[in-house]
Amino acid sequence: MQLTILQASEYAFDILKHTPATPIVHSIYRKAVNLKAGNQLLTLQPRGSVLSPISMITACTEGELAELPFAARKTLSVTLKTEHTSRQDLFLSARKLSSHVYTENLHKKIRQAIAMAENSDLPPHMRGVELILNQPDLAEESLYMNAVQTILLQFRQAIGDSAKMADTLCRLIGLGIGLTPSGDDFLCGFLAGLRMSSSVSSQILTVKSDNFRQILEKKICSHLNRTNEISAAFLHCAALGQFSIPIHLLLSSEITAEQIYQAFSGIGHSSGIDTLCGIYASFPNVASQMPDSHSRIIQQPSQS
Protein backbone atom coordinates (compact mmCIF):
# COMPACT_ATOMS: atom_id res chain seq x y z
CA MET A 1 0.00 0.00 0.00
CA GLN A 2 1.28 3.44 -0.96
CA LEU A 3 0.60 6.79 0.67
CA THR A 4 1.21 9.85 -1.49
CA ILE A 5 2.93 12.78 0.19
CA LEU A 6 1.72 15.97 -1.46
CA GLN A 7 3.77 18.45 0.50
CA ALA A 8 6.52 18.48 3.11
CA SER A 9 8.98 20.88 4.63
CA GLU A 10 12.53 20.62 3.35
CA TYR A 11 13.53 19.76 6.91
CA ALA A 12 11.12 16.80 7.19
CA PHE A 13 11.86 15.60 3.66
CA ASP A 14 15.61 15.53 4.31
CA ILE A 15 15.13 13.58 7.53
CA LEU A 16 12.97 11.02 5.75
CA LYS A 17 15.40 10.59 2.86
CA HIS A 18 18.44 10.25 5.11
CA THR A 19 16.89 7.71 7.46
CA PRO A 20 17.87 4.26 6.18
CA ALA A 21 15.42 2.25 8.28
CA THR A 22 11.65 2.21 7.80
CA PRO A 23 10.00 4.70 10.19
CA ILE A 24 8.23 3.46 13.30
CA VAL A 25 4.71 4.64 14.14
CA HIS A 26 5.15 6.72 17.30
CA SER A 27 1.56 7.75 18.06
CA ILE A 28 -1.81 8.12 16.36
CA TYR A 29 -4.21 11.03 16.71
CA ARG A 30 -7.36 12.15 14.92
CA LYS A 31 -5.54 14.53 12.58
CA ALA A 32 -1.98 13.25 12.77
CA VAL A 33 0.09 10.10 12.69
CA ASN A 34 3.49 10.65 14.25
CA LEU A 35 6.44 8.66 12.97
CA LYS A 36 9.88 8.09 14.43
CA ALA A 37 12.50 8.33 11.69
CA GLY A 38 15.76 7.53 13.43
CA ASN A 39 15.81 9.90 16.39
CA GLN A 40 13.54 12.45 14.71
CA LEU A 41 9.78 12.82 14.86
CA LEU A 42 7.76 13.41 11.66
CA THR A 43 4.01 13.80 11.25
CA LEU A 44 1.66 12.48 8.56
CA GLN A 45 -1.31 14.84 8.18
CA PRO A 46 -4.42 14.98 5.98
CA ARG A 47 -4.46 17.27 2.97
CA GLY A 48 -5.26 20.87 3.75
CA SER A 49 -3.34 20.82 7.04
CA VAL A 50 -1.07 23.67 8.06
CA LEU A 51 2.51 22.88 7.06
CA SER A 52 4.92 22.66 9.99
CA PRO A 53 8.64 21.82 10.01
CA ILE A 54 7.89 18.15 10.77
CA SER A 55 4.88 17.89 8.45
CA MET A 56 4.31 15.48 5.61
CA ILE A 57 0.93 16.38 4.10
CA THR A 58 -0.76 13.35 2.54
CA ALA A 59 -3.32 13.08 -0.25
CA CYS A 60 -5.78 11.58 2.26
CA THR A 61 -8.72 13.23 3.90
CA GLU A 62 -8.90 13.07 7.68
CA GLY A 63 -11.26 10.09 7.43
CA GLU A 64 -9.12 8.26 4.89
CA LEU A 65 -6.00 8.71 6.99
CA ALA A 66 -7.82 7.29 10.03
CA GLU A 67 -8.73 4.15 8.09
CA LEU A 68 -5.16 3.24 7.16
CA PRO A 69 -3.57 0.32 9.05
CA PHE A 70 -1.30 2.19 11.46
CA ALA A 71 -0.27 0.61 14.74
CA ALA A 72 1.64 2.50 17.44
CA ARG A 73 5.17 1.22 18.14
CA LYS A 74 5.07 -0.87 14.94
CA THR A 75 7.04 -0.43 11.72
CA LEU A 76 5.19 1.73 9.20
CA SER A 77 3.17 -0.66 7.02
CA VAL A 78 2.56 1.70 4.09
CA THR A 79 5.08 3.00 1.58
CA LEU A 80 5.45 6.76 1.43
CA LYS A 81 5.35 7.95 -2.17
CA THR A 82 7.47 11.10 -2.45
CA GLU A 83 8.46 11.31 -6.12
CA HIS A 84 6.29 14.38 -6.71
CA THR A 85 6.26 15.86 -3.24
CA SER A 86 6.28 19.66 -3.15
CA ARG A 87 8.89 20.83 -0.65
CA GLN A 88 8.97 24.15 1.17
CA ASP A 89 11.86 25.66 3.05
CA LEU A 90 10.56 26.77 6.46
CA PHE A 91 13.87 28.09 7.76
CA LEU A 92 13.54 31.60 9.17
CA SER A 93 16.84 33.40 8.97
CA ALA A 94 17.71 35.94 11.65
CA ARG A 95 16.79 39.17 9.96
CA LYS A 96 15.64 42.67 10.67
CA LEU A 97 12.13 43.56 9.61
CA SER A 98 11.97 46.06 6.79
CA SER A 99 11.65 49.13 9.01
CA HIS A 100 10.97 50.37 12.52
CA VAL A 101 7.53 51.51 11.35
CA TYR A 102 6.75 48.01 10.04
CA THR A 103 7.87 46.45 13.33
CA GLU A 104 5.59 48.81 15.24
CA ASN A 105 2.67 48.07 12.92
CA LEU A 106 3.21 44.32 13.17
CA HIS A 107 3.34 44.58 16.96
CA LYS A 108 -0.04 46.35 16.95
CA LYS A 109 -1.58 43.87 14.50
CA ILE A 110 -0.43 40.91 16.57
CA ARG A 111 -1.86 42.45 19.75
CA GLN A 112 -5.17 43.04 17.98
CA ALA A 113 -5.18 39.42 16.79
CA ILE A 114 -4.52 38.17 20.31
CA ALA A 115 -7.40 40.32 21.59
CA MET A 116 -9.72 38.49 19.17
CA ALA A 117 -9.15 35.32 21.20
CA GLU A 118 -10.65 36.91 24.31
CA ASN A 119 -14.20 35.82 23.52
CA SER A 120 -13.57 32.24 24.57
CA ASP A 121 -16.20 29.95 26.05
CA LEU A 122 -13.52 27.94 27.81
CA PRO A 123 -12.99 28.26 31.56
CA PRO A 124 -9.78 30.03 32.64
CA HIS A 125 -7.96 26.82 33.56
CA MET A 126 -8.31 25.58 29.97
CA ARG A 127 -7.08 28.74 28.27
CA GLY A 128 -3.56 29.67 27.24
CA VAL A 129 -1.25 32.66 27.52
CA GLU A 130 -3.75 35.02 25.89
CA LEU A 131 -5.63 34.93 29.21
CA ILE A 132 -2.75 36.88 30.80
CA LEU A 133 -2.95 39.53 28.08
CA ASN A 134 -6.70 39.72 27.58
CA GLN A 135 -8.13 39.08 31.04
CA PRO A 136 -5.24 39.21 33.53
CA ASP A 137 -7.60 39.25 36.51
CA LEU A 138 -8.67 35.72 35.58
CA ALA A 139 -5.10 34.38 35.33
CA GLU A 140 -5.08 33.54 39.01
CA GLU A 141 -7.85 31.02 38.34
CA SER A 142 -5.41 29.00 36.22
CA LEU A 143 -2.48 27.41 38.02
CA TYR A 144 -0.56 27.16 34.75
CA MET A 145 -1.15 30.75 33.62
CA ASN A 146 -0.43 32.05 37.10
CA ALA A 147 2.92 30.25 36.89
CA VAL A 148 3.58 31.61 33.38
CA GLN A 149 2.83 35.12 34.64
CA THR A 150 5.32 34.72 37.48
CA ILE A 151 8.03 33.43 35.12
CA LEU A 152 7.53 36.35 32.72
CA LEU A 153 7.83 38.81 35.59
CA GLN A 154 11.08 37.13 36.68
CA PHE A 155 12.30 37.30 33.08
CA ARG A 156 11.75 41.05 33.11
CA GLN A 157 13.68 41.32 36.36
CA ALA A 158 16.59 39.39 34.81
CA ILE A 159 16.92 41.73 31.81
CA GLY A 160 20.58 42.47 31.17
CA ASP A 161 21.84 39.01 32.14
CA SER A 162 21.53 36.78 29.06
CA ALA A 163 22.14 33.49 30.86
CA LYS A 164 19.67 34.27 33.63
CA MET A 165 17.08 35.48 31.12
CA ALA A 166 17.40 32.22 29.17
CA ASP A 167 17.30 30.07 32.31
CA THR A 168 14.15 31.85 33.42
CA LEU A 169 12.37 31.35 30.11
CA CYS A 170 13.35 27.67 30.06
CA ARG A 171 11.16 27.19 33.12
CA LEU A 172 8.24 27.51 30.68
CA ILE A 173 9.17 24.21 29.02
CA GLY A 174 6.46 21.62 29.62
CA LEU A 175 4.23 24.11 31.43
CA GLY A 176 0.57 23.79 30.49
CA ILE A 177 -1.98 21.30 29.29
CA GLY A 178 -2.32 19.59 25.92
CA LEU A 179 -0.11 17.81 23.44
CA THR A 180 2.05 20.91 23.09
CA PRO A 181 1.91 22.79 26.42
CA SER A 182 1.32 26.54 26.34
CA GLY A 183 4.78 27.27 27.69
CA ASP A 184 6.39 25.36 24.81
CA ASP A 185 4.26 27.09 22.18
CA PHE A 186 5.06 30.47 23.74
CA LEU A 187 8.79 29.71 23.55
CA CYS A 188 8.54 28.70 19.89
CA GLY A 189 6.93 32.05 19.19
CA PHE A 190 9.47 33.92 21.30
CA LEU A 191 12.34 32.41 19.30
CA ALA A 192 10.58 33.26 16.04
CA GLY A 193 10.08 36.85 17.18
CA LEU A 194 13.76 37.22 18.06
CA ARG A 195 14.70 35.94 14.62
CA MET A 196 12.22 38.16 12.81
CA SER A 197 13.08 41.45 14.43
CA SER A 198 16.70 40.79 15.40
CA SER A 199 16.29 44.06 17.21
CA VAL A 200 16.10 43.48 20.94
CA SER A 201 18.63 46.24 21.27
CA SER A 202 21.15 47.03 23.96
CA GLN A 203 19.15 50.16 24.73
CA ILE A 204 16.23 47.95 25.79
CA LEU A 205 17.48 44.61 27.07
CA THR A 206 21.17 45.53 27.42
CA VAL A 207 22.07 42.39 25.50
CA LYS A 208 22.52 41.78 21.78
CA SER A 209 19.52 39.85 20.50
CA ASP A 210 21.46 37.38 18.34
CA ASN A 211 23.70 36.47 21.27
CA PHE A 212 20.73 36.10 23.62
CA ARG A 213 18.80 34.07 21.06
CA GLN A 214 21.68 31.65 20.59
CA ILE A 215 22.05 31.20 24.34
CA LEU A 216 18.31 30.60 24.67
CA GLU A 217 18.28 28.11 21.80
CA LYS A 218 21.09 26.08 23.36
CA LYS A 219 19.48 26.08 26.78
CA ILE A 220 16.12 25.01 25.36
CA CYS A 221 17.77 22.10 23.54
CA SER A 222 19.41 21.01 26.78
CA HIS A 223 16.08 20.89 28.61
CA LEU A 224 13.83 19.14 26.08
CA ASN A 225 13.36 16.26 28.50
CA ARG A 226 11.07 18.53 30.52
CA THR A 227 8.27 18.12 28.00
CA ASN A 228 6.72 15.35 25.91
CA GLU A 229 8.41 14.03 22.78
CA ILE A 230 6.04 15.66 20.30
CA SER A 231 6.30 19.11 21.83
CA ALA A 232 10.07 18.66 22.18
CA ALA A 233 10.27 18.09 18.41
CA PHE A 234 8.69 21.49 17.74
CA LEU A 235 10.93 23.22 20.28
CA HIS A 236 13.97 21.60 18.71
CA CYS A 237 12.84 22.82 15.29
CA ALA A 238 12.34 26.35 16.64
CA ALA A 239 15.86 26.31 18.08
CA LEU A 240 17.10 25.41 14.58
CA GLY A 241 15.11 28.24 12.99
CA GLN A 242 12.39 26.00 11.54
CA PHE A 243 8.85 27.39 11.90
CA SER A 244 5.35 26.67 10.63
CA ILE A 245 3.80 28.54 7.69
CA PRO A 246 1.74 31.08 9.71
CA ILE A 247 4.90 32.54 11.24
CA HIS A 248 6.33 33.19 7.78
CA LEU A 249 3.11 34.99 6.80
CA LEU A 250 3.97 37.69 9.35
CA LEU A 251 6.82 38.85 7.12
CA SER A 252 4.29 40.30 4.69
CA SER A 253 3.60 43.97 5.34
CA GLU A 254 0.15 43.51 3.81
CA ILE A 255 -1.14 41.04 6.39
CA THR A 256 -4.03 42.24 8.56
CA ALA A 257 -4.85 41.54 12.20
CA GLU A 258 -7.83 39.45 11.11
CA GLN A 259 -5.65 37.38 8.78
CA ILE A 260 -3.13 36.85 11.57
CA TYR A 261 -5.88 35.66 13.90
CA GLN A 262 -7.31 33.28 11.30
CA ALA A 263 -3.88 31.83 10.51
CA PHE A 264 -2.93 31.18 14.13
CA SER A 265 -6.28 30.37 15.75
CA GLY A 266 -6.67 27.29 13.57
CA ILE A 267 -3.57 25.62 15.03
CA GLY A 268 -4.40 23.22 17.83
CA HIS A 269 -6.51 23.96 20.90
CA SER A 270 -4.54 27.09 21.82
CA SER A 271 -1.13 26.39 20.29
CA GLY A 272 -1.35 28.99 17.54
CA ILE A 273 -2.42 31.83 19.82
CA ASP A 274 0.14 30.81 22.46
CA THR A 275 2.79 30.99 19.74
CA LEU A 276 1.52 34.41 18.72
CA CYS A 277 1.76 35.58 22.34
CA GLY A 278 5.41 34.49 22.36
CA ILE A 279 6.15 36.46 19.21
CA TYR A 280 4.45 39.51 20.69
CA ALA A 281 6.37 39.26 23.97
CA SER A 282 9.72 39.06 22.14
CA PHE A 283 9.36 42.48 20.55
CA PRO A 284 11.55 45.13 22.21
CA ASN A 285 8.79 47.68 22.67
CA VAL A 286 6.85 45.08 24.65
CA ALA A 287 9.80 43.89 26.73
CA SER A 288 10.61 47.44 27.70
CA GLN A 289 7.04 48.02 28.89
CA MET A 290 6.79 44.99 31.17
CA PRO A 291 5.74 46.57 34.46
CA ASP A 292 6.60 45.49 37.96
CA SER A 293 3.02 44.57 38.68
CA HIS A 294 2.52 40.82 38.93
CA SER A 295 -1.02 41.21 37.64
CA ARG A 296 -0.11 42.83 34.36
CA ILE A 297 2.79 41.46 32.33
CA ILE A 298 2.30 43.35 29.09
CA GLN A 299 0.43 46.54 28.52
CA GLN A 300 -2.69 46.86 26.42
CA PRO A 301 -2.26 47.92 22.77
CA SER A 302 -2.67 51.46 21.62
CA GLN A 303 -6.15 52.23 20.34
CA SER A 304 -4.78 54.33 17.51
Q: What is the pLDDT of residues 180-228, one digit of tens each?
A: 999 999 999 999 999 987 644 333 444 556 789 999 999 999 999 999 9
Q: Which amino acid makes up residue 125?
A: H
Residue 100 pLDDT grade (very low, low, confident, very high; cuts 50, 70, 90)? low
Instruction: Give me the pLDDT at residue 99, please.
Output: 58
Residue 283 pLDDT grade (very low, low, confident, very high; cuts 50, 70, 90)? confident
Cα(204)–Cα(214) distance, rounded to whole angstroms?
18
Instruction: Give me the pLDDT at residue 197, please.
Output: 77
Q: What number is the average pLDDT over the span 257-280?
A: 95
For 27, phi and psi rounded to 5 degrees? Answer: -160, 155
Instruction: Give me the pLDDT at residue 295, please.
Output: 35
SS3 label, residue 170: helix
Question: Is pLDDT of 286 > 80?
Answer: no
Distance of CA 176 to the CA centre of its chain: 14
Task: Determine the length of the chain.
Answer: 304
Give me the percent of the chain exceeding a pLDDT of 70: 87
CA nearest 142: which of 188, 185, 176? Answer: 176
Do 50 and 244 meet the contact criterion of CB atoms below 8 Å apart? yes
Q: Which residues contact 252 (CB under 8 A, 6 or more apart)?
A: none
Angle at 140 between CA 223 and CA 293, to 5 degrees: 85
Question: pTM score > 0.85 for this model?
Answer: yes
135 burial level (CB within 10 Å; 0-12, 13-18, 19+): middle
Instruction: Give me the pLDDT at residue 204, please.
Output: 41
Q: What number is the average pLDDT over the span 108-131?
A: 92
Q: Which amino acid makes up residue 84?
A: H
Instruction: Give me the pLDDT at residue 208, please.
Output: 59
- Phi-psi category of residue 299: left, alpha or beta, with phi > 0 → left and psi -120 to 50 → alpha: beta
CA nearest 236: which of 58, 57, 41? Answer: 41
Helices and strands, number each (H, E), in the chain: 14, 7
Instruction: Give me the pLDDT at residue 152, please.
Output: 93
Residue 291 pLDDT grade (very low, low, confident, very high; cuts 50, 70, 90)? very low
Cα torsion at 88, 94, 95, 101 (round to 10°)?
100
Cα(235)–Cα(230) distance, rounded to whole angstroms?
9
Cα(256)–Cα(274) distance, rounded to whole angstroms?
18
Angle at 198 between CA 241 and CA 242, to 5 degrees: 10
Cα(220)–Cα(211) distance, rounded to whole angstroms?
14
